Chain A
Amino acid sequence: MEYNLRDICSVIRSKNSGPYELTFDVIFKDFDMYNKVKAARAINEKAFAELFNIPMSDIMALVYFDPAKAVKITIIRPIPSGALGETDVYGAQQHSPLMGYTFNM
């Protein structure tokens, strides 16, 4: 069955984690779905890298965090926050590709 991440999550957000990292939090609506996604690893390094068009080596951490039924992905910021070429100093609007992420499970 195909799922759209946006339909099964209560929070999808991005933010700087310090000036050199960008971090994404995906918090699920319920533990059942979180556990299914975790078991299938439906959110994984390869899928995330493709979604953002970045090399997998830019992903610093992809962690399933049970207490918050959440997946956290942290990547190397394409440039340090506020450097020439910046588009989002706080990194708070970089999450939208995740909102269109669909997968089969």
Chain B
Amino acid sequence: MEELRILSPTAILGYGFPMESFVEGMKRNPHVIAVDAGSTDPGPYYLGAGKSFTDFNSVKRDLEIMIPAAIEAGIPVVIGSAGGCGGHPHVQFVVDIVKEITREKKLTYKLAVIQSELDKELIKSKLTKGEVIPLHPAKEITVADVDETVRIVAQMGEEPFIKALNEGANVIIAGRSYDPSVFAALAIREGFDRGLALHMGKILECAAIAALPGSGSDCMFGYLQKDGFILEPLSPLRKCTTLSVAAHTLYEKTNPYFLPGPGGALNLHQSQFEQITDNKVKVTGTVFEPTPEYFVKLEGVKKVGCRTISIAAVKDPVMIEKIDSIVENVKNRVKNNFESYGIKDFFLDFKIYGKNGVMGLFPGSEDRVAHELCIVIEAVAATQEQADTICGFARSTMLHFGYEGRISTAGNLAFPFSPSDCKVGDVYEFNVYHLMKVDDPSEFFPIEYIDFKTGN
């Protein structure tokens, strides 16, 4: 095979794509349709709670177009990081949708489901053997930390996908995956260069984001050849330029010259970006450098409590001037009020928008203050009831707080809503972001096959 063609319909499963672009993609006779469905961007909640951060109908809409088209063309559909995070419930979320489509359209094909959620006992035993190491700047973990973790997934490389393709799977729904794997798997199986295949996957995983103008909800097409790969956006509105593609190489990476993943890293020091037509770019020179040992990345979260928030605003100039000391006083009052009552272990924070609400993590980097402030009072405690108590008390204390120089003695806060307080629910934090050594890249990613005949 001299050329392998890949259709990437959308940046994240459920982000959608224009039908015209998809049809253009199918006209080019792709060998595979692949989509990455995941990200850690939406934060730790979704992995912890076992919920998809994309919506049922949005995901179903995308799959309902892709799967029948691929079956008709006799090519596989490969989905990685199902449900956003790739845990058991996330994979199930997508599998349920796929089954519904299969029934409704009476489809006949072979489905492969690859899991990526790991047993905590396995992680603990690997940890004890020194085979789990933190990915800087994450911290070392202990066996106790693993016990505290709600869910841990590992990012698979291309190997489990190749296994499923070898078994004749027409549709692959996989748990947490290294983003480029879903695009590179078939190509690597067919003997194409791993470095070029993975680098192309790195760009295709964001679909048309690497084009100009960029879009996360439009298709991108990749042509992998022996000496390089070509990228082509499928909407006439977009172009790939050497700059749009090179700039995309920066996106969400630590260092654009060196991109580590399962089993090794991509080295871009010799990569060349060449404009071959008005809208197509060819990339050459990228090299995959395997590591002596194979590592997969682990992601895990722990539960830290429950959250209640209250949103309020301030217009009074005296109050705005004294906001920092008022916040300190309110915090102390809340702490003092519940100390002897027994609610001591809570997190109380005031995000002050118009002052440093957005960049509060970089104190001193900006110090301008607006003429009105939005305040988000946040309480996190062991239970929802305690979080309600702390947030509510902080809110009422701040509302009537008699700060020095106060002139507006009726109330300090403007509430846009009644009720003023809002239960947000469970709160999670990332606590595992580590590398785990494996002997076999497919070892911990079990595959289940389901044969459908006219929808069943």
What's the nearest-Cβ distance from chain A to residue B306, in Å?
Answer: 12
What's the nearest-Cβ distance from chain A to residue B348, in Å?
Answer: 10
What's the nearest-Cβ distance from chain B to residue A7, in Å?
Answer: 19
Q: Flag whether A15 is at the interface (Cβ < 8 A).
A: yes
Q: Flag whether B41 is at the interface (Cβ < 8 A).
A: yes
| Chain A minimum-CB-distance residue to B268 | A67
Interface 9-residue window, one of B86-94, B125-133, B244-252: B244-252
A78 to B362, CA, bound (A): 8
A59 to B328, CA, bound (A): 31
A87 touches B358 (CB 8 A): yes
Interface string of A67-80 (1 = CB under 8 A from B): 11110101011111
| Chain A minimum-CB-distance residue to B433 | A20
Q: Flag whether B15 is at the interface (Cβ < 8 A).
A: no
A80 touches B360 (CB 8 A): no
If A19-B430, A83-B430 touch, does A69 touch B255 (CB 8 Å cutoff)? Answer: no
A68 touches B247 (CB 8 A): yes
Interface 9-residue window, one of B42-50, B170-178, B384-392, B411-419: B42-50
B40 touches A16 (CB 8 A): yes
Interface 9-residue window, one of B1-9, B193-201, B363-371, B400-408: B363-371
Interface string of B135-146 (1 = CB under 8 A from A): 111100000000
B365 touches A97 (CB 8 A): yes
Q: Flag whether A4 is at the interface (Cβ < 8 A).
A: no
A53 touches B430 (CB 8 A): no
Give which listed residue, B136, B299, B365, B433, contacts A53 with CB less than 8 A.
Answer: B365
A59 to B35, CA, bound (A): 33
A18 touches B256 (CB 8 A): no
A76 to B433, CA, bound (A): 14
Q: Flag whether B453 is at the interface (Cβ < 8 A).
A: no
Q: Flag whether A1 is at the interface (Cβ < 8 A).
A: no
Give which listed residue, B252, B253, B362, contacts A54 with CB less than 8 A.
Answer: B362
B contact residues, range:
35 or more
A contact residues, range:
35 or more
Give which listed residue, A19, A25, A76, contacts B44 with CB less than 8 A.
Answer: A19
A82 touches B43 (CB 8 A): yes
Q: Flag whether B21 is at the interface (Cβ < 8 A).
A: no
A97 to B347, CA, bound (A): 28
A16 touches B137 (CB 8 A): no
If A65-B256, A76-B137 touch, does A89 touch B380 (CB 8 Å cutoff)? Answer: no
Q: Flag whether B361 is at the interface (Cβ < 8 A).
A: yes
Q: Flag whether B357 is at the interface (Cβ < 8 A).
A: yes
If A67-B249, A74-B255, A87-B357 touch, does A20 touch B430 (CB 8 Å cutoff)? Answer: yes
Q: Flag whether A96 is at the interface (Cβ < 8 A).
A: yes
Q: Flag whether A51 is at the interface (Cβ < 8 A).
A: yes
Which residues on A sit within 8 Å (CB–CB) of B304? Answer: 84
A86 to B430, CA, bound (A): 12
Q: Flag whether B399 is at the interface (Cβ < 8 A).
A: no
A93 touches B358 (CB 8 A): yes
B365 touches A18 (CB 8 A): no
Which B residues have a C-beta under 8 Å from some C-beta of A? 40-45, 135-138, 242-243, 246-247, 249-257, 271, 273, 299, 304, 347, 349, 351, 357-366, 380, 427-430, 433
Can you name 5 extra interface pairs (CB under 8 A) apart from A53-B364, A81-B40, A89-B43?
A: A27-B247, A72-B250, A72-B253, A82-B428, A84-B349
- Can you identify 10 A-B contacts, CB atoms within 8 angstroms? A16-B252, A19-B44, A21-B254, A61-B255, A68-B249, A70-B246, A83-B430, A85-B361, A89-B42, A97-B362
